[in-house]
Structure 1
């Protein structure tokens, strides 16, 4: 069996800076607009040095998407069928918002891939992502059927959380232009919590 020897500290560092540089470039230019020269410049390495670690632009992009997809699915995987329904949905929304806050470049990379038609990850979207969403939608539906949260479309509930939380990363310039340069995420956390707590309340709204 042929096994690759473990990377040295310098090799691990160089690989990490290449991926970080690639993330900077791809999240702005997209896959088609990015070049190896741009990635090398962003990483602070020569192009031959970059090619020692990754044979092509495609290889860098694939490595980034692999890391990203694992990170992006974790918050939904953590939604616990045995937990309190409102608490679980609010925690999921907060985890997604935290991803936008802590990984804005990754969020924009994902957005540019989707806007391009998802050529690199379409199989994953139609496979593992769809399966996970369907699994958690069944959990949400079971809570709705039991009267523990208000009945609504569980799939659109999940999609609405994506849209509301990822906007803060994908449209960061717009958000800061409107709200200023303060911490938009603090206000967003309060708003999203209030919004979904009200939405999920199983008690019928009182008419005034």
Structure 2
């Protein structure tokens, strides 16, 4: 009986979080309501409140679950690898995330647009530390002449901007391209060429 109850509770919790992801990514934190989330999960509002005491609690659980997934592609940048290959692989991982997890990307973007009220500590802590760690690796590759001299932090920012755009502005991208285009297939080749040319040793030096 207990095992059955636990399975039902886990199923309900997952249904709530999936419904909340759809609602928050579509309406933002302020526009989302517990009634919308409960309806999407197929539960009553009192039943939802049994699992999460507030809209803030649901939102926090989503963001907490998202963080590791969001940081993993950058963590995988290997200092022992071939520099250009490692950076281009990171670009591809970020683009794949934009393709496969568009709702998560929009949820994260919505939090940042609001000033990161629930993520500021993590961004100033774990994310900043990770960016600094990988910037050290990028600077070493530049010093060794293996990639062009560019600002490493802004290189990472540009990768975020040029990949997450395809999730956060999906409607705009598809409306501009038209129905006969696969934006992710086309973006992959373009970004590969763009960053390969940017990183080519001997390219014009950019000040940090």
TM-score of Structure 1 vs Structure 2, range by shorter chain: over 0.9
- Provide the residue aligned with 2:121 in structure 1: 123
In 2, the alpha carbon distance for the partners of 1:28 and 1:110 equals 12
Q: TM-score, normalised by structure 2?
A: 0.93
In structure 2, which of residues 71, 88, 99 is the aligned counterpart of residue 90 of structure 1?
88
- Provide the residue aligned with 1:12 in structure 2: 10
Q: CA deviation at 1:9?
A: 2.3
In 1, the alpha carbon distance for the partners of 2:186 and 2:203 equals 27
Aligned length: 202
- Provide the residue aligned with 1:103 in structure 2: 101
> Over aligned residue pairs, what C-alpha RMSD do you find?
1.6
Could you report, residue by residue, the CA deviation over 1:148-195 in whole angstroms, capped at 9, with x for unpaired residues?
001110000000000000000000010000112332100001111111
Q: CA deviation at 1:204?
A: 4.2
Instruction: Indicate the SS of the match to 2:149.
Output: coil
Moved over 4 A (4+): none
In 2, the alpha carbon distance for the partners of 1:95 and 1:45 equals 35
Residue 173 in structure 1 maps to residue 174 in structure 2: no
- Provide the residue aligned with 2:76 in structure 1: 78
Instruction: Indicate the SS of the match to 1:134.
Output: helix
Instruction: Indicate the SS of the match to 2:131.
Output: helix
In 2, the alpha carbon distance for the partners of 1:76 and 1:6 equals 39
Q: CA deviation at 1:99?
A: 0.6
Could you report, residue by residue, the CA deviation over 1:79-113 in whole angstroms, capped at 9, with x for unpaired residues?
00111000000000000001100000000001111
Instruction: Indicate the SS of the match to 2:164.
Output: helix
- Provide the residue aligned with 2:195 in structure 1: 196
Q: CA deviation at 1:8?
A: 2.5
In 2, the alpha carbon distance for the partners of 1:39 and 1:171 equals 23
In 1, the alpha carbon distance for the partners of 2:127 and 2:5 equals 32
Paired residues for 1:140-155 under 5 Å: 140-155=138-153
In 2, the alpha carbon distance for the partners of 1:160 and 1:6 equals 48
Gapped regions of structure 1 (runs ≥ 5): none
Instruction: Indicate the SS of the match to 2:66.
Output: helix
